Amino acid sequence: RAAVAAAVAGAAGAGWLYLRRDKERRLRARRLRDLRALALGQGDFQLHDTSGTPRRKADFLGRWVLLYFGFTHCPDVCPEELEKLSRAVELLERDPALPPLQPLFVTVDPERDDAAALARYLRDFHPRLVGLTGTPEQVRAAAAAFRVYVSAGPPDADGDYVVDHSVLTFLVGPDGLFRDYYGRSRTAEEVAESVRRHMETYEPLPP
């Protein structure tokens, strides 16, 4: 009787575990379908990096990407967010079993942030952080693809101005699909843990 009871309990436990995993799989698949329906970040962008090399979103297919929109004259928020992004990448790099993660910074202030300005600014952050800029039209199109709000304020007497923009870091999967986003309240450790979970449970979504 004890053996039969144990067998029944084992079968019930295995059945429960299967149902739980199947439910989680279906929830992930539904969430991915919802993300694709949002079309967030699905559009391509045509920018160039600090060496002048043209870059499109398609160039980063096959890699995980952490993407932040900001500008080099930002007094405090952008440096804080880039420090956090860099720290999250460093935490994930400690695990060699995880796939590589590419950090990207797209300026929302192309009038002042040319390639040289970006190169100088990004030296203070992660060594693999790639900076992207372009014409005002190209930058607006890239921001619109991720639904990033951008609005330049009036210049002061010295011609300086602040650019108001959405403060979000986006996670893009190897298939180019938006997977998650992180606001100012998330710590580097929380971002790294979330990215890790996405990597470990990654399932490409069929076209």
For 25-43, how does the pLDDT look when each residue is reduced to its tens digit (9 = 90+)? Answer: 777 777 666 666 655 666 7
User: Regarding predicted confidence, which is higher, 39 or 139?
Assistant: 139
pLDDT at 5 over 60: no
41: CB partners within 8 A, 6+ apart: 57, 67, 145, 146, 170, 172, 176, 177, 178
Residues 100 and 189 in one domain: yes
89 plus 3 within the same structural domain: no
Residues 65 and 151 in one domain: yes
* Domains of the chain: total: 2
Mean predicted lDDT score pLDDT of the chain: 88
Model confidence band, residue 2 (pLDDT cutoffs 50, 70, 90): low
Residues 183 and 113 in one domain: yes
**How far is it, in rounded angstroms, from Cα 89 to Cα 96?**
12
4 versus 165: which is more confidently predicted? 165
Residue numbers of the domain that contains 19:
1-38
The reported pLDDT for the residue numbered 3 is 62
31 and 61 inside one domain: no
Whether 61 is in a domain gets the answer yes
Please enumerate, by residue number, every residue annotated as part of a binding site.
74, 78, 165
Q: What is the pLDDT of residue 13?
A: 66
In a domain, 206, yes or no: no
List the binding residues for Cu cation. 74, 78, 165
Confidence of residue 152 (pLDDT cuts 50, 70, 90): very high
Report phi then psi at 107, rounded to 5. -75, 150
Convert the pLDDT of each residue in 61-70 to its tens digit.
Answer: 999 999 999 9
Share of the chain above pLDDT 90, in %: 66
Same domain, 27 and 58: no
Q: Which pLDDT score is estimated for 65? A: 96
CB 148 within 8 A of CB 165: yes
Pairing of strands 150-152, 101-107: unpaired
Record the pTM. Answer: 0.81
Tell whether 207 is covered by a domain: no
- Could you tell me the pLDDT band of residue 21, with boundaries at 50, 70 and 90? confident
CATH number at residue 81: 3.40.30.10
Whether 15 is in a domain gets the answer yes
- 8 Å CB contact between 165 and 151: yes
- Answer with the residue of higher pLDDT: 35 or 179: 179
